[in-house]
Amino acid sequence: MTLSVSSPRSFLISVLSLIILASSGRLEAQPQEREKTERHTKVRANDEDNPFPRRIPAPSLDGGLGWLNTSGPIELSKLKGKIVLLDFWTFCCINCMHILPDLAKLEKEFPNELVVIGVHSAKFTGEQDSENIRDAIMRYEIKHPVVNDGKMKIWQRYQINSWPSLMLIDPEGNIVGGVSGEGNYKILHEAIEKLVKYHTRKKTLDKTPLHFELEQYAAKPTPLRYPGKVIADSAGNRLFIADSGHHRIIVADLATGKLQKVIGKGVEGFEDGSFEKAQFFEPEGMAVDGDTLFVADRRNHSIRKVDLKEETVTTVAGTGKQGWEREKGGAAKSMSLASPWDLLLKGDNLYIAMAGTHQIWVMDVKKGKVKPYAGSGQENIFDASFPEAAFAQPSGLASDGKYLYVADSETSSIRKLSYADDTVETIVGRGLFEFGDIDGSGDKARLQHALGVAVKDGLLYVADTYNNKIKVIDPNTTQTKTFLGDGKEGSSDEPAQFDEPGGVSIVGNTMYVADTNNHLIRVVDLGTKKVTTLEIEGLTPPEESTDENETLPNADAKKVEPVVLSSPKGVVIKAAVSVGKKEKLNPAAPMSYRLTKITADGKKEVISKGKTPEVTPKATLKLDEINLDGAKELEFALTYFPCQTGSEGICRIATQVWTIPVSFGSGGTGEIDLKQ
């Protein structure tokens, strides 16, 4: 959310007097601040061709409450030789989510030159918890280190004032510029490219690949992964679950929970077709009409239509790319949308919580047209007629036929839209920075980043996400009460606990809750408040895709003397690797191996791969069940991760590859001893 803490309308960042000038694509000091900056900058004679001569030393990253996505703390001083990009973010923020693809793209384009570090500076209280940040890292599939800046110490040290903000640091540890908001990929790419060229010439660029111990390595497979939304369909006796982290839709029997169908391949992508071939990217809200299911495919910025009878998926709105339009509509398939988060179908109108533009949109499903419905696009809380009203990241929709109710997450509010007179009114919630966990009515009640809402008998049931609760609100009196949950993260049925519930749906007297961080669907009897956890019989995680021809990172090849083996079975391979004097192996990162058999005709076959059970400089692999028959050569690769002593969070990747000519005969050995 590109909002300043001190001034909500500010879209500029002033960080140590340095900015990126978006109009020109150049990084330099603001003209009025150059004199001040130059007093802090010493330009050396051999730096005359430096594309960014006005630099100042980057402040430290000390003061965080913990490090994630890495095996230990990281010091900037230990990253000398690397280009570092600091991403100041908070995981609730849709703008912060929007730049993640740009960061991932830059990491792929500069894999050995660039290190991205996320500085998570929380807006909400619930975001200060490292476990919640860990879940967000895995949910958004972030692949770089993140420091929990829960006390905002790093934020203040860098003089940041908005999310997201990015600071670029050169290989000599100096800040060269910064930028805030979305849409800055091109500027950053050009700046990094210039730094690479300059510091390559200067020989101050270190291109050694680094390794970070990602949280996903320790994650255990679960049938559901971060389910975002759930829709109960009594007419069809079906429960639809957005299995967001697995990029698919699950259909279960409403009565028994037995698996009916899996919609989607289970791998992120953007592809129409059969249920087995179709791909989604973090799907969220859904709406069902008979044998038609509409899906808000959030990270594909599109609306997908599922034909439940023909078992096909087609795209009916969006291009797959994020859009910026806030005022005009058009043909749905040609309009670029922005993070659609929830859907509600009323007649031929499909209402869309367009979180990315802070609006409610509507699609005429018969005519194939889509347009803004309510909200100016300004990120705020403002009640008025539809065109003038303001929302902030609307993420949940419900209706009683007379009103459209909206869970407006960034204002921690519940809003209602009148179909009759086109006006917006706030039921609970007061501002972008007014949040908490307070039952009451009117100005006294507080929610914290509510993502879901459902209607039953004139009452609103709300997924009060960051408070880990389900709350009930009377929209007429604004009375707000805790319905379930003690506020603590947990998965207990009795007493009822949740962990960032994101979606609610009610049919009859039963409420279904997408308990996102618990990877579960919870079932609630509204009368007794009894909570049970749904078991989906037959559901398993998607199969992991493997690439037998994957490139070995930073490989050092070595051919050894021929070995005569006594038998093609039961061979033992011993290998030893070495680390630097100021390094040690990362105890949290097992070494991985790959054994390839090469036959006389040159055919290659990977016959064994995996991880070593222990992390030691010596690895022993006993091939009891592997047959080496027909091998002319063996290729044994061992990948390991030496880390800097005293800074275990920074590890390099090293791979030793031995090519071993082999033959078989009497008098041979049963062991291959490989040394560094």
Query: 450-472 burial by CB neighbour count: b if 16+ within 10 A, else e?
Result: bbbbbbbeebbbbbbbbbbbbbb
Q: What is the CATH number of the domain that holds 525?
A: 2.120.10.30
pLDDT in tens, 443-500: 899 999 999 999 999 999 999 999 999 999 999 999 999 999 999 999 999 999 999 9
Residues 293 and 159 in one domain: no
Say whether pLDDT at 438 is over 70.
yes
DSSP for residue 449: S
Confidence grade of residue 530 (pLDDT, cut at 50, 70, 90): very high
Look at residue 557 in the predicted model and tell me its pLDDT: 86
- Examine the fold and report which residue of 501, 533, 565 is the final residue of a domain before the chain moves on: 533
Look at residue 507 in the predicted model and tell me its pLDDT: 97
Residues 67 and 41 in one domain: yes
Please report, for residues 61, 62, 71, the alpha-carbon distance to residue 66 in angstroms, rounded to integers and kept in the order given.
Answer: 11, 10, 11
Q: Is residue 312 part of a domain?
A: yes
For the ranges 17-26, 524-533, 569-578, the one whose mean pLDDT is highest: 524-533
552 against 594, higher pLDDT: 594
Look at residue 33 in the predicted model and tell me its pLDDT: 34
Confidence grade of residue 12 (pLDDT, cut at 50, 70, 90): very low
Confidence grade of residue 645 (pLDDT, cut at 50, 70, 90): confident
Say whether pLDDT at 19 is over 70.
no
Residues 129 and 276 in one domain: no
Lowest mean pLDDT among 319-328, 363-372, 605-614, 654-663: 605-614
Count how many domains the chain has.
3
Q: What is the CATH number of the domain that holds 121?
A: 3.40.30.10
Confidence grade of residue 577 (pLDDT, cut at 50, 70, 90): confident
Residues 312 and 260 in one domain: yes
Q: Is residue 2 part of a domain?
A: no
Look at residue 43 in the predicted model and tell me its pLDDT: 40
Look at residue 322 in the predicted model and tell me its pLDDT: 97
The token pair that represents 273 in the structure block: 């077709």
User: What stretch of H or E contains 652?
Assistant: strand 647-652
Percent of the chain with pLDDT over 70: 90
Confidence grade of residue 648 (pLDDT, cut at 50, 70, 90): low
Residues 276 and 398 in one domain: yes
Residues 130-156, mean pLDDT to the nearest whole number = 97
Residues 281 and 178 in one domain: no
Confidence grade of residue 18 (pLDDT, cut at 50, 70, 90): very low
Residues 188 and 230 in one domain: no
Contact 154, 63 (CB under 8 A): yes
Look at residue 554 in the predicted model and tell me its pLDDT: 67
pLDDT in tens, 154-165: 999 999 999 999
- Examine the fold and report which residue of 217, 234, 258 is the final residue of a domain before the chain moves on: 217
Say whether pLDDT at 369 is over 90.
yes
Q: Is residue 401 part of a domain?
A: yes
390 against 552, higher pLDDT: 390
Lowest mean pLDDT among 204-213, 387-396, 609-618: 609-618
The token pair that represents 592 in the structure block: 């991985």
Q: Is residue 543 part of a domain?
A: no
Distance, in Å, from the CA atom of 598 to the CA atom of 660, rounded to the nearest integer, reads: 10
Say whether pLDDT at 427 is over 70.
yes
Residues 211 and 360 in one domain: no
DSSP for residue 494: T
- Examine the fold and report which residue of 217, 245, 264 is the final residue of a domain before the chain moves on: 217
Residues 182 and 232 in one domain: no
pLDDT in tens, 297-355: 999 999 999 999 999 999 999 999 999 999 999 999 999 999 999 999 999 999 999 99
Lowest mean pLDDT among 224-238, 367-381, 525-539, 590-604: 590-604
Query: 555-575 burial by CB neighbour count: b if 16+ within 10 A, else e?
Result: eeeeeeeebebeebebbebeb
Look at residue 611 in the predicted model and tell me its pLDDT: 80
What are phi and psi for residue 139, nearest 5 degrees?
Answer: -65, -40
pLDDT in tens, 592-623: 889 999 999 989 999 888 887 677 777 777 77
What are phi and psi for residue 498, nearest 5 degrees?
Answer: -135, 170
Q: How many CB atoms lie within 10 A of CB 488?
A: 12
Residues 327 and 474 in one domain: yes
Please report where in the chains the tokens 């050169």 appear, as a residue. Answer: 170
Residues 293 and 368 in one domain: yes
Say whether pLDDT at 242 is over 70.
yes
Look at residue 293 in the predicted model and tell me its pLDDT: 98
Say whether pLDDT at 102 is over 70.
yes
Q: Is residue 347 part of a domain?
A: yes
Q: What is the CATH number of the domain that holds 658?
A: 2.60.40
- The pTM of the full predicted model, rounded to 2 decimals, is 0.85
Residues 518 and 418 in one domain: yes
Q: Is residue 548 part of a domain?
A: no
Say whether pLDDT at 440 is over 50.
yes
Torsion on CA atoms 81, 78, 129, 587, rounded to nearest 10 = 110
Confidence grade of residue 64 (pLDDT, cut at 50, 70, 90): very high
Q: Is residue 374 part of a domain?
A: yes
Write down how long the chain is: 676
Residue 356 structural domain: 220-533
Distance, in Å, from the CA atom of 36 to the CA atom of 34, rounded to the nearest integer, reads: 5
Look at residue 676 in the predicted model and tell me its pLDDT: 59
Q: Is residue 546 part of a domain?
A: no
Contact 264, 247 (CB under 8 A): yes
Torsion on CA atoms 298, 303, 307, 310, rounded to nearest 10 = -80
User: What's the per-residue H, E or C state across 314-383?
Assistant: EEEECCCCCCCCCCCCEEHHHCCCCCEEEEEEECCEEEEEEHHHCEEEEEECCCCEEEEEECCCCECCEC
